[in-house]
Amino acid sequence: MPRRSTRLTFAVLATGAGVFSMLQSLIAPALPTVQHALHTSQSTATWVMTAYLLSASIFTPILGRLGDLVGKKRTLVAVLVVLTLGCLLAALAPTIGVLIIARVVQGIGGALFPLSFGIIRDEFAPSRVSPSISNLSAVIAAGGGVGIVAAGPIVSALDYRWLFWIPVGIVAVTALIAFRYVPESPSRAEGRVNWLGAGLLSAWLVALLLPLSQAGNWGWTSARVIGLFVAAVVLFALWLLAEARSRHPLIDLRIMRLRAVWTTNAAGLLFGAGMYAIWSFLPGFAQTPRSAGYGFGASVTSAGLLMLPMLIAMFFSGVLSGRLEPVVGAKRLLVAGAALGAVACGFLAAWHDQQWQVATSAGIFGLGIGLAFASMANLIVRSVPPEQTGAASGMNANIRTIGGSIGAAVTSVLVTSRLQPSGLPYASGYTHGFALLAVLLLGASLAALMVPAHRRARHTTGNVVRAADTPAPAAARAEAEAAPVAGG
């Protein structure tokens, strides 16, 4: 039985994870304002996003694993404190360099996702785990949408620094409540942090994500981009070797090779590619002047409001998925979510001349995001042993981020490959980009179909009988232990 109020615990987890998710997208619409205010170049200003991306990718699985080892509540409070300091530093940053450092500090907050999922699994009654994970996933998904919608009004009414001042107070209070009321999880993993594995993981992630995010400035055929891609392949191979031979791996490769895990991660990679690309390019499409032959000439605020149907739909579908999962299963929800995303991108590729068409497509995509986020989290969390929850769910979040970087980079190539004399992309660039995203999301749906249809187990709590379509942790552990270890 839960030792404290699970409602309060959930509120703390949802607030922390939601604010971090919001920070992920909140600054993007305001980058031109930041560039002007801090007297820097556009290429330098993009590091405000890149630094956050790299930091979150590195720290999410490492601190997720640390939470499994030393305690999820202890690690959660520490991460919330660091996130508060990162927001404070960003709000006060006098130069672009300090702001970039602050974004690196904020990226550490990415660990809130796996830590929150782990605490829910450890502390909530079995009948409440799946709905709570679905609800938290809905908050995380909606947080990114809130950032896009809220950035314009905040910057217009106040100043871009308030994009960070507001989270300072919210996260500081959340950290205090978490310290006082969130119970420490009883489930602990054995062993220690494999620092060699952590270092190699960080190295190959940086070598992969850095050229993906900066290739537009450096050039796809430049020596830096090609060299970093080669280094990423080599470092990834070394990381696999080190993890396979370690007695205490950072990411247990046997767990990652479980069919339920790798198929969900494959779907997450492709879904992330579509989702982050839509978040990145749809507001820009709406802000394009009508003189370009497309677009609506919208302001930052108006472009954000055009994304409002996505925000509303993703939140409600995420919450609804918690009610649907016991009936239809997480696998079917993931398939449906990815398919809805593919349909939305297909609509955008064919029809984007009117604002209502874009808003409708955004709403359909939002339905898909809510279903997919919730189902991916449930499939991962309930397919691995409790002591692997943080590392496994952290890696799933990382894989979505990697997919997002790939999707945004490839879409950028398609959109900007041919420019008008004015310097704006042709409409065909967006059409081809949206069509590619539809194909990627269709691939995510096909990958989701490969998720195993597990034996449905019945759990009884009081008078409530619930069915689950994912294996019990013990079954996952047994499967993992039976799987051969590469190189071992």
State residue 454's pLDDT score: 59
As a dihedral over the C-alpha atoms of residue 161, residue 167, residue 172, residue 175, rounded to 10 degrees, the angle is: -150
pTM: 0.81
pLDDT class of 449 with cuts at 50, 70, 90 = very high
Record the tokens describing residue 419, joined without a space.
């420019």
Question: In one letter, which amino acid is 335?
Answer: V
pLDDT class of 464 with cuts at 50, 70, 90 = very low
User: Domain segments of the chain: what residues?
Assistant: 6-193+248-482, 194-247
Residue 473 has pLDDT above 70, yes or no: no
Q: Contact 65/79 with Cβ under 8 angstroms? A: no
Q: What is the rounded CA–CA span in Å between residue 305 and residue 138? A: 19
Q: Which residue has the higher pLDDT, 401 or 178?
A: 178
The DSSP code for 470 is: S
Overall average pLDDT of the 143-168 stretch: 89
Q: What is the rounded CA–CA span in Å between residue 161 and residue 170? A: 15
Residue 340 has pLDDT above 80, yes or no: yes
State residue 239's pLDDT score: 93
Residue 325 has pLDDT above 90, yes or no: no
State residue 4's pLDDT score: 55
Q: Which residue has the higher pLDDT, 302 or 361?
A: 361
Residue 349 has pLDDT above 70, yes or no: yes
Q: Which residue has the higher pLDDT, 145 or 434?
A: 434
Residue 41 has pLDDT above 70, yes or no: yes
Record the tokens describing residue 184, joined without a space.
């420490």
State residue 83's pLDDT score: 97
Record the tokens describing residue 197, joined without a space.
């594995």
pLDDT class of 42 with cuts at 50, 70, 90 = confident
State residue 374's pLDDT score: 86
Query: How do residues 74-118 score in pLDDT, each as one tens digit?
Result: 999 999 999 999 999 999 999 999 999 999 999 999 999 999 989
3-state secondary structure of 324: helix
Q: What is the rounded CA–CA span in Å between residue 163 and residue 89? A: 12
Query: How do residues 242-295 score in pLDDT, each as one tens digit?
Result: 988 888 887 888 888 899 999 999 999 999 999 988 988 888 899 899 999 999
For the chain, the C-alpha Rg in angstroms (whole number) is 21
Question: In one letter, which amino acid is 279?
Answer: W
Residue 3 has pLDDT above 60, yes or no: no
State residue 109's pLDDT score: 93
Q: Contact 404/268 with Cβ under 8 angstroms? A: no
Q: Contact 105/85 with Cβ under 8 angstroms? A: yes
Q: What is the rounded CA–CA span in Å between residue 225 and residue 342? A: 30
Full DSSP string of 430-469: HHHHHHHHHHHHHHHHHHHHTS--PPPEEEEETTEEEEE-
**115: Cα separation from own chain's centroid:** 14
3-state secondary structure of 356: helix
Overall average pLDDT of the 327-356 stretch: 94
Give me the phi and psi of 468, to 5 degrees please. Answer: -125, 140
Mean pLDDT of the chain: 86
Query: Which CATH fold topology does 6-193+248-482 show?
Result: Growth Hormone; Chain: A; (1.20.1250)
State residue 438's pLDDT score: 96
Q: Which residue has the higher pLDDT, 304 or 165?
A: 165
Q: Contact 50/167 with Cβ under 8 angstroms? A: no
Q: Contact 262/287 with Cβ under 8 angstroms? A: no
Record the tokens describing residue 85, joined without a space.
């300091």
Q: Which residue has the higher pLDDT, 440 or 25?
A: 440
Residues linked to residue 467 through DSSP beta bridges, in sequence order? 458
Q: Which residue has the higher pLDDT, 472 or 47?
A: 47
State residue 80's pLDDT score: 97
3-state secondary structure of 141: helix
Residue 196 has pLDDT above 80, yes or no: yes
Question: In one letter, which amino acid is 166?
Answer: I
